[in-house]
Structure 1
């Protein structure tokens, strides 16, 4: 009887590497702006949640390695392009020494393109926005098929988000052409597709960005069905469809407003001041949720001077998002509201622990 092959044991060192990479990701701060690379996302509410730091998507180590491969592939393809005589590729803005970037709407809408290229053999006198994407063989094959059917329409059909990114970068850079290189992992196979500018689409996308930035409440969902496929994989699904409260930060607070003058400036109506960028991540004791985010209850009253908002649950119970030290056990800080099961709001045992023992509700 033949012996079964031994199952390789997990490598504890490599497992530790995975966990370290994931931990490093968890410590990273969310981007402080709405990205031009994402504006083609069809759900404006998802983009609003990201801009408001309602949720920070976390990826497993394997996905993070794919991202790293994409960054390395960009450098690899750039080096290869520069081998072509007469071709000029700028990946750094010579005036700043940084990646070429653009900003709009008071610094709240930003993007950084991979480069600008001149001297492509198929259009040697025309500057192109250059973007490099790394993908698998199957997705590259689809782009190749679409290109054969009509190159100028291929990018929009292949990936609408990449197409929107291309259109916006052409708009803000003033270039009329876009050159996308698509490479499989490790740089084994590279294809390209060129796309024309679309001024009307760029304008619509810039207007979409502005609507999201100035919206004080979440925009309309892409679907009211929690099982809709685009909702199912959304990192904000639990907030949007499941009633979970988002992270506590200045961006989810009713007092905070993104201002359109300045460079990514936010102001606080409670403290009547600008909010420093680093302070926005944690919020303060005066944090009160934007009422539209408290989806499991209805806002029924508020007092700006005392800084509380009153809510009514479907069964008639009421509670305050406010300072329990000043307002009593009916009041919950935003951190407590995020941690507590709504069924336990107003529970005698929980309230007794909070008032008599000074306890707080924690996750």
Structure 2
């Protein structure tokens, strides 16, 4: 749910299928750590206000408030709920804390000036707005309170957003389509230098012909099933998260992940004609059904 407001269906599908590696440099990891610490400070300051009732954990479970849909493959966790705000003292709000850079903070200030507080979140960030409307919908609450801070909570502002059931329904439908799709959706642009493509983590796979990662989620044998689990048709059993990341010798790429035209196929291989005119066979050469000890060991695992 934290990503479903992104602009490109194909990028979301790549993310769901773990098609590209995630690499973070040290500066990015430090920003993540700053964000977690800033959120903790913000929650503590809200709880210190006597007139506010703040829950960052569910009183029933002692865990974060979480939601899931589409057989457990569409999940999200909101930061909490809050009651007692001066603007609406008797109304429970979904509570979200966002730690952002100074530049991003200034963008929110400009959004408030441009469209007003209640429309500012959508103007500022479609991704954050999508989270807000989904959390309100799943929590059955009519208001959302987003606290936005710079690192360390040195600067702080908040905006309230109203429930948007039609948009929540659209986002749910979008998630369902992406989860159920067995091939990549259309690109947001066919131009590799399109501004949203240039900064996308999946651009090498999407536009540059780089091979997607080889594991169960990029394999044509696997399917998302109920309970947030995955099923492998080749071995006729469910596969754990660890197994999904590892893959197996019988892996065959989802055809839409291969930058070429499918020209032939057998029981354990698929051939593609690549843009340079050469033919590439996926599978078959290194693995033959029933003949590989490693594959047979995998089949009998679990």
Q: Same fold (TM over 0.5)?
A: yes
Does 1:208 find its partner at 2:171?
A: no
Please tell me whether the aligned partners of residues 45 and 221 of structure 1 are also in contact (alpha carbons under 8 angstroms).
yes
In 2: Cα distance, 1:190 partner to 1:311 partner: 54
Q: Deviations over 1:67-125 (max 9, x none)?
A: 11111111101111111113111111222222111000000000011111111122111
Q: 2:282 aligns with which of 305, 318, 321?
A: 321
Q: Deviations over 1:257-285 (max 9, x none)?
A: 112x3x11211111111112211001100
In 2: Cα distance, 1:316 partner to 1:141 partner: 51
Structure with higher RCO (Cα < 8 A, 6+ apart): 2
In 2: Cα distance, 1:118 partner to 1:160 partner: 25
Equivalent position of 1:298 in the other structure = 261
Does 1:127 find its partner at 2:92?
A: yes
Q: Deviations over 1:302-355 (max 9, x none)?
A: 22xx3111222345543321132567xxxxxxxxxxxxxxxxxxxxxxxxxxxx
Equivalent position of 2:298 in the other structure = none
Please tell me whether the aligned partners of residues 250 and 287 of structure 2 are also in contact (alpha carbons under 8 angstroms).
no
Q: Return 5+ residue gaps in structure 2 as ranges.
A: 289-302
When residues 123 and 255 of structure 1 are mapped into structure 2, their CA distance, relative to the original with a 3 A threshold, is same
- How do residues 315-354 of structure 1 correspond to structure 2 at under 5 angstroms? 316-325=277-286
- How do residues 212-227 of structure 1 correspond to structure 2 at under 5 angstroms? 212-227=178-193
In 2: Cα distance, 1:325 partner to 1:115 partner: 51
Equivalent position of 2:142 in the other structure = 176
Please tell me whether the aligned partners of residues 50 and 56 of structure 1 are also in contact (alpha carbons under 8 angstroms).
no
In 2: Cα distance, 1:164 partner to 1:135 partner: 17
Local SS of the residue matching 1:254: coil
Task: Report the number of matched residues.
Answer: 287
Q: Deviations over 1:163-221 (max 9, x none)?
A: 11101111111111000011111111110000001000000000000010011000111
For residue 144 of structure 1, report the CA deviation from its aligned partner.
2.1
Equivalent position of 1:96 in the other structure = 61
Equivalent position of 1:193 in the other structure = 159
For residue 137 of structure 1, report the CA deviation from its aligned partner.
2.5
For residue 58 of structure 1, report the CA deviation from its aligned partner.
1.3
Does 1:282 find its partner at 2:246?
A: yes
Q: 2:45 aligns with which of 63, 67, 80?
A: 80
Q: TM-score, normalised by structure 2?
A: 0.91
When residues 315 and 184 of structure 1 are mapped into structure 2, their CA distance, relative to the original with a 3 A threshold, is closer
Local SS of the residue matching 1:324: coil
Local SS of the residue matching 1:98: coil
For residue 292 of structure 1, report the CA deviation from its aligned partner.
1.2
Q: Return 5+ residue gaps in structure 1 as ranges.
A: 1-35, 328-363
Q: TM-score, normalised by structure 1?
A: 0.76
Q: Cα RMSD (Å) of the superposition? A: 1.4
Q: Which of the two has higher C-alpha Rg?
A: 1
Q: Deviations over 1:142-161 (max 9, x none)?
A: 32232234111111001111
When residues 109 and 325 of structure 1 are mapped into structure 2, their CA distance, relative to the original with a 3 A threshold, is closer
Equivalent position of 1:58 in the other structure = 23
